[in-house]
A and B are shown apart, each in its own frame.
Chain A
Amino acid sequence: MNIRVISILCPKCGAGVQFCEEDRVIKCLHCGMNFIPVHSEGIERYYLKPQVKNPQTRVKNYLKNRGFKKNNYRIVDTDKFFIPVWKGTGQVTGWISGLSPRKTVVYTETVTAPNGRQITVKRKREEGGIPLKKLMKIEKEVLFNALKFPDIRCRKEEVIKDEYAAFLRVYDEQRMTRWGKIVTPDVSPQLEKKEIKTRFIQSSLSSYIDYEPLRHRLKVMGQRVFLYYFPVTLIKVKLDNQLISLTVNGLSGKVTSNTLLRKESATKRKRILFLDTMVIFLSSLLSASFIHTNSSFPKQIGIIIAFITLLYIWLKR
């Protein structure tokens, strides 16, 4: 991963200062002053500056490429959001101890019988119970969505993409709200900070979960918690009496739909409708002609065909 550089203004001389995300100290090359970045609640908040100017045009092109004509759909709603994503980093360190899980292993062995013949016998062996004592040091990183928003299709990995490094900015509520709404994370930052710590420790212990008795004294060192806000536009489209949500990535302009939309879907749908009508018409005709015969056996067949037709219609519905 490349180093992502962020630009700010020096509070002392007003010159432009650049610093990397991982820097603990920022130096102004103009006045030579050093600064410590202070993040509220210890959460490092950044946002990615939106680049897409006309998200609606992107959606229209997206639908056009999938074979939908302008009169097939109607854009009913457009909303711009900054979607939050958590990132936690740190190093889990400490001692763990325990005994490896005990199990009985069955194995075969070839032995020589008193009569000189070679025979195979099954034997049992106890395995495990090996004492473990180790000093653990593991680097951890976790990335997860800060809220559940099923309509929006946005991949959390986008926030750490190197190609978007040029658009990374320090969180600025005023500037951000000028573009769109800032969505608040589901869980409070303080709770999430603790949760990330617990996640790191639990994942470090996951390989030793069967050890008995498992003792540990693990801590998270150098923990850093980031909250990235990613710009997206949510566009709701009414398509063939169906409401579809389309997400436009605020940086790449890529459109993602919450339902499967395919280029051939309009024509395919027409063809399926025609085939269904034909099947129902023919089966109805067949069952009617069977039912109106005098003998009982074809009548029964006719009733069965009628039932199957009804079942087919119900399933298709």
Chain B
Amino acid sequence: MKFFDLLPLQCLRCGAPISSGRCDMVYFCHNCGVGLEFNGDNLEIIKTHFAQPLLEKEKEPELFLPFWSFHLDISIKGKEVYLPFLFRANYLRTKGSFFTDETLIEEILKKRKQQKNEGEKDFIIYVPSFPTTGSFAYSSNIGNRFTEAQPHLLFYEENKKMESCIYNSSDALAIAEDEYISLQSAVIPNLLALDLSFNLKGKKVIGIPYTRKEKGIFYDQIIGEIILASALKKTVGSME
């Protein structure tokens, strides 16, 4: 029985060899721009898009940093309730109090009935996946900002060069769950008491455009969050 094998890193779409960093988890083809993820046995194609700047549209992006974008259906197991609306509308202002599980669910269901007309809109959670120095909390905060903003993105038609992506989809999904709970915990204090289920409806990698603000500082051209060049790990190319 063979326990070890080497899988050639070649693009599944165009067949071009892919060069990648040693710790990368998603591999981007520089020829056709497709993203590939290793699922334990084989490579699979991941939808990849490069976002167009919303801020300073005329300024050409200097680099594209990868963000996982998850379209999630978040609900309480066994209950007909769609949870992202709570986050959007900040309905339950119960800071500091600890409900019992049942009263909390009743409260959510009651509020939900009042909002029947709202309907379920797309709810996207963004998870930054580029390597940063120090803990990933730094980049996780940027993910929170993007998730809060829920920007309406437009994408380039042609391919761009994506920087290193260090999380695979399952790890990024774990971070997405934490991110959702972080954002919701301001609204519901004991969210962990609920048996939450995160059903993945869609996933893709989005290259967020970044440009230089001044020496040593980059900012994204979507919501304008800055990031220090020194916080980005050396694996990211075109850094000073």
Q: Residues of A with Cβ closer than 8 Å to B?
A: 8, 10-12, 20, 22-27, 32-40, 42-43, 45, 93-97, 99, 131, 133, 135, 137, 170-171, 173, 213, 215-217, 219, 221-222
Chain B interface category by residue count? 35 or more
Q: Which residue of B lies closest to A213 (CB)?
A: B193
**Cα distance A11–B192 when bound, in Å?**
49
- B28-48 near A? 1/0 per residue, CB < 8 Å: 000000000010110100000
Are the CB atoms of B178 and A34 closer together than 8 Å?
A: no
Are the CB atoms of A33 and B175 closer together than 8 Å?
A: no
Are the CB atoms of B4 and A96 closer together than 8 Å?
A: no
Q: With an 8 A cutoff between CB atoms, is B118 at the interface?
A: no
Are the CB atoms of A33 and B8 closer together than 8 Å?
A: yes
Contacts known (A25-B22, A34-B19, A36-B9); A135 close to B3, Cβ less than 8 A = no
Are the CB atoms of B8 and A35 closer together than 8 Å?
A: yes
Are the CB atoms of A137 and B136 closer together than 8 Å?
A: yes
**Cα distance A219–B2 when bound, in Å?**
30
Q: With an 8 A cutoff between CB atoms, is B149 at the interface?
A: no
Which residues of chain B come closer than 8 Å to A11, judged between CB atoms?
A: 6, 8
- B20-32 near A? 1/0 per residue, CB < 8 Å: 1111110100000
Are the CB atoms of B8 and A171 closer together than 8 Å?
A: no
Q: With an 8 A cutoff between CB atoms, is B174 at the interface?
A: yes
Neighbour of A22 across the interface among B23, B185, B189, CB < 8 A: B23
Are the CB atoms of A215 and B4 closer together than 8 Å?
A: no
Which residues of chain A come closer than 8 Å to B231, judged between CB atoms?
A: none
Distance (whole angstroms) from the CB of A5 to the closest CB of chain B: 12
The majority secondary structure among interface residues of chain A is strand
Are the CB atoms of B192 and A95 closer together than 8 Å?
A: yes
Q: With an 8 A cutoff between CB atoms, is B199 at the interface?
A: no
**Cα distance A95–B183 when bound, in Å?**
12
Q: With an 8 A cutoff between CB atoms, is B182 at the interface?
A: yes
Distance (whole angstroms) from the CB of B104 to the closest CB of chain A: 12
Are the CB atoms of A45 and B3 closer together than 8 Å?
A: yes
Are the CB atoms of B21 and A39 closer together than 8 Å?
A: no
Distance (whole angstroms) from the CB of A265 to the closest CB of chain B: 45
Contacts known (A20-B22, A23-B23); A97 close to B192, Cβ less than 8 A = yes
Which residues of chain A come closer than 8 Å to B91, judged between CB atoms?
A: none
Q: With an 8 A cutoff between CB atoms, is B89 at the interface?
A: no
Q: Which residue of B lies closest to A216 (CB)?
A: B192
Which residues of chain B come closer than 8 Å to A171, judged between CB atoms?
A: 3-4
Are the CB atoms of B174 and A33 closer together than 8 Å?
A: no
Distance (whole angstroms) from the CB of B169 to the closest CB of chain A: 12
Are the CB atoms of B182 and A221 closer together than 8 Å?
A: no
